[in-house]
Amino acid sequence: MGEDWRIWSLQFFGCRNIEAYSKLFSHVKAAYFYATMYLTTTKSQGETNNKNKEELIMTSNKTRKLVLIAILSAISTVLMAFVQIPMFGGFMKLDFSVLPILIGLVVLGLPSAMAILILRSILVTILFSEGVSTYIGMPMNIVAIGLFVIAIWFFIRYDLKFNAFRFLLGGIAGTIILTAAMALLNFIYAIPLYEKFANFKLSAVGMTLKDWIVAMVLPFNLIQGAILTIVSGLILISFSKFLYGQKKNFE
């Protein structure tokens, strides 16, 4: 009965790969269990050996950071694989996998946020690959989300507490940058590869490459950036005291 809620949630989002999700969840639980045991042992050692206290604290913080990166990566993977909103006739899909990445950005910093992004992308590619579309689309997604996160980091990197105005500026800048990048990548990378390896022809849907970028790519990415900025901003505002409090534990 303990796993019923996970199965129901997968069925609600139309997931077919329940086995892969269960394996992912089991790996996360195992990682958390072993990390907790390790931290408990480390704590005991610290109590009996005060000379190595600072070294043990540093080891403990590194382990906790790795565990948090793994957990946020797993959550981001689940959000990308199962929580999707089809848009523009199903050609585009909006997901919320950036939310755990932004939480990692606030608590752990930019390098850890990029690690979460890369690990999420690897997990999705291995566990939930849809073939050619994943192999072509995932690098673009990494670029888009990476630029979005970096833009936000640029505006909030010195904040000691959540600043909604600077976060909004970062979200606007990130939206503009990722939209421009996706337009360029569709032109020089995605569409040529889709036509060659996925047998996707723009002429089959009555579009030229220019039509595709103007009517599909630009509006979708502007809408995506706006939605992600608003949703992530509301979540970060709601948990800002807790998140920035946790940030101090990793510095």
81, two tokens: 């694989």
Domain limits, the chain: 4-85+94-249
pLDDT on residue 25: 54
Q: What percent of the chain has pLDDT over 70?
A: 76
Residue 201 has pLDDT above 90, yes or no: no
Q: What is the largest CA-CA distance in the chain?
A: 73
Model pLDDT, residue 168: 96
For residue 226, what pLDDT is reported? 96
pLDDT of residue 200: 80
Q: Which residue has the higher pLDDT, 58 or 169?
A: 169
pLDDT band at 12 (very low <50, low <70, confident <90, very high): very low
Report the percent of the chain where pLDDT is more than 90. 49
* Residue 68: predicted pLDDT: 93
- pLDDT exceeds cutoff 70 at 227: yes
Span 162-184, average pLDDT: 95
In the structure encoding, which two tokens stand for residue 134, read together? 């994943």
pTM: 0.77
CA dist 71 and 27 (Å) reads: 10
How far apart CA 234 and CA 229 sit, in angstroms, is: 9
Please name the fold of domain 4-85+94-249. Arp2/3 complex 21 kDa subunit ARPC3 (1.10.1760)
Residues 95-141 have pLDDT tens digits of 999 999 999 999 999 999 999 999 999 999 999 888 888 899 999 99
pLDDT bucket at 13, cuts 50 / 70 / 90: very low
Kindly tell me if the per-residue pLDDT of 239 is higher than 60.
yes
pLDDT score, position 18 = 54
- Per-residue pLDDT of 17-66, as tens digits, reads 556 555 555 655 555 555 455 445 545 555 555 556 666 666 677 888 89
